[in-house]
Amino acid sequence: MLNRVQASIDLKALQHNFSIARRYSSLKKAARVAAVIKANAYGHGLEQAANALDEAELFGVTDVREALTLKKSGTDKPILVLQGLIHEDDLKLVVEHNFQLVVHSTSQLATIDDTLSKLTLKAPLTLWLKMDSGMGRLGLSPQDYAATYQALQNKTYVDSVVMMTHLANSSMPESMLNTQQLQEFRQQEGQLQGKCITSIPSSSGILSELPVDCDWARPGIMLYGSSPFNFNEAHLRREQFGLQAVMTLQARIIAIKALKKGDNVGYCSQFICPQDMTVGIVSIGYADGYPSNAPNGTPLMVGGKKTGTVGRVSMDMIGVDLSDIPDAKVGDLATLWGADLSVDEVAAKTGILSYNLTCSVARRVAFEYI
């Protein structure tokens, strides 16, 4: 590694995690798995993730622009646009490329019907009709759902309709809202004629014991080696499910300081040495995507040993306690998270979701795919 900061992306670990998602999904009777690679594959690289995840039946992305990027990269997998139509013109691209589309509002339905009823499509579309069963975000109300679903089934521009919802609290399996949402979903499913194609769980629903049996599972964060559950729940950490770190973020030590008791480190004297200390300066900061709110003691690894940050995070630098790592020297690498230090542990210390940490790694960071 010759770079100041580098993110190493282990594509074999990504494939391994997909196999874990496949296994747990099958326990929920989900024979098909949609790999969610939106937001540049949670910061790991959209095209690279797609190439590695060739066993997925479908890819989920945020919007039509991401879908086009993925299509142009050469994938032959079906692509699902998870946020549906952002602009009316998106529908032309959906039709042209036969993207699958989440529909989550009556206004979207009106646009789709008005436009597509006037066109002759090369192939009818697969629509994923989303129910707001209790998330309070996107989706049709349960009261409107069954009638809308049945009406779509009769449209000539529709090939099939997938019944989907999203659980708000599946990362908290004991929450009563999970039961309420699942009951609402099953109640509406029971009103529909014939066998429905269904999709419920994301990563936390897949890995939990919630009764989310369905046809499609939609793993996201677990693919990248992160547990969707609270890090304080030791039995729900990534290693308990066999998940492997995909991203390892490292940066170089560029200076080592011998400081005295009472010396301060960094801006605003956020850290004052409680005793004589050895402090390293690591060349990574918030401009690289490291969380600016990381408190003193945020974990990292140097020379295979765990230590913690000292002082405020700067634009390009952080301080690290090297007092118990006497062999550390300028040029050594510090690991901010990776195989030996879970991104979930860093997230728990900073109060920032692991999703946010990997998505925030900046463009100026060098990426290596292994």
Q: What is the CATH number of the domain that holds 292?
A: 2.40.37.10
Separation in Å, CA 341 to CA 5, 243, 280: 17, 13, 19
Question: To which residue do tokens 């990027």 refer?
Answer: 69
Helix (H) or strand (E) holding 40: helix 38-43
- Residues 332, 285: one domain? yes
DSSP 3-state of 240 = helix
- Mean pLDDT score of the chain: 96
DSSP conformation letters of 54-65: TT-SEEEESSHH
**Does residue 363 form part of some domain?**
no
Q: Which of 105, 150, 96, 104 is nearest to 125 (CA)?
A: 96
**pLDDT greater than 90 at residue 185:** yes
How far, in Å, CA of 23 to CA of 242, rounded? 11
Query: Is the dihedral angle over the CA atoms 105, 106, 107, 113 positive or is it negative?
Result: positive
Can you give the pLDDT at residue 183?
98
Q: Is the pLDDT of residue 2 over 80?
A: no
Residues 176 and 264 in one domain: no
3-state percent helix, strand, coil for the chain, nearest multiple of 5: 35, 25, 45
The answer on 79 and 113 residing in a single domain is: yes
At which residue do the structure tokens 């290693």 appear? 239
Number of domains forming the structure of the chain: 2
Together in a domain, 112 and 204: yes
Same domain? For 261 and 212 the reply is no
What average pLDDT does the segment 113-125 reach? 88
* Same domain, residue pair 170 and 206: yes
Q: Please tell me the distance from the alpha carbon of residue 182 to that of residue 178, in angstroms, as a whole number.
A: 6
User: 180 and 157, same structural domain?
Assistant: yes
User: 276 and 310 share a domain?
Assistant: yes
Q: Identify the pLDDT of residue 194.
A: 80
pLDDT over 80 (residue 66):
yes
Same domain, 208 and 251: no
- Residue 195, pLDDT score: 86
pLDDT of residue 117: 84
pLDDT of residue 244 exceeding 90, the answer is: yes
The model's pLDDT over 195-223, given as tens digits with 9 standing for 90+, comes to 899 999 999 999 999 999 999 999 999 99
Give 343-362 pLDDT, tens digit per residue. 999 999 999 999 999 999 99
Q: Decide which of 199, 232, 265 is a domain's last residue.
A: 232
Q: Judge whether 327 and 277 are in contact, CB under 8 Å.
A: no
For residue 237, being part of any structural domain is answered with: no
Q: Do the strands 100-103 and 125-131 form a parallel or antiparallel pair, or are they unpaired?
A: parallel
pLDDT single digits (tens) 145-158: 999 999 999 899 99
Average pLDDT value for residue range 154-183: 96
Q: Are strands 125-131 and 158-165 parallel, antiparallel or unpaired?
A: parallel
Does residue 241 lie within any of the structural domains?
Answer: no
Residue 240 above 90 pLDDT? Answer: yes
**Of the ranges 9-13, 49-53, 154-158, 344-348, which one carries the lowest mean pLDDT score?**
154-158
Residues 173 and 58 in one domain: yes
pLDDT given for residue 1 in this prediction: 61
Average pLDDT rounded to a whole number, residues 259-263: 98
pLDDT at 102 > cutoff 80: yes
Mean pLDDT of the 46-68 span: 97
Q: Looking up tokens 């690290």, which residue turns up?
A: 320
Residue 238 lies in a domain: no
* Residue 329 within a domain: yes
Q: Quote the pTM value.
A: 0.95
Residue 5 lies in a domain: no
Q: pLDDT tens-digit profile of 16-37?
A: 999 999 999 999 999 999 999 9
Residue 281: pLDDT band with limits 50, 70, 90: very high
Let me know if residue 258 belongs to a domain: yes
- The catalytic site residues sit at 38, 267
CATH code at position 80: 3.20.20.10
pLDDT above 70: percentage of residues in the chain: 100
pLDDT per residue as tens digits for the range 325-334: 999 999 999 9
Domain enclosing residue 26, as ranges: 11-232
Q: Do 126 and 228 fall within a single domain? A: yes
Inside any domain, residue 19:
yes
Could you say which of 232, 263, 281 is where a domain stops? Answer: 232
Q: Looking at the structure, tell me whether residues 86 and 190 fall in a common domain.
A: yes
Between vectors from CA 348 to CA 277 and to CA 237, what angle results, nearest 5°? Answer: 115
Residue of 194, 86, 202, 75 whose CA lies nearest to 146: 194
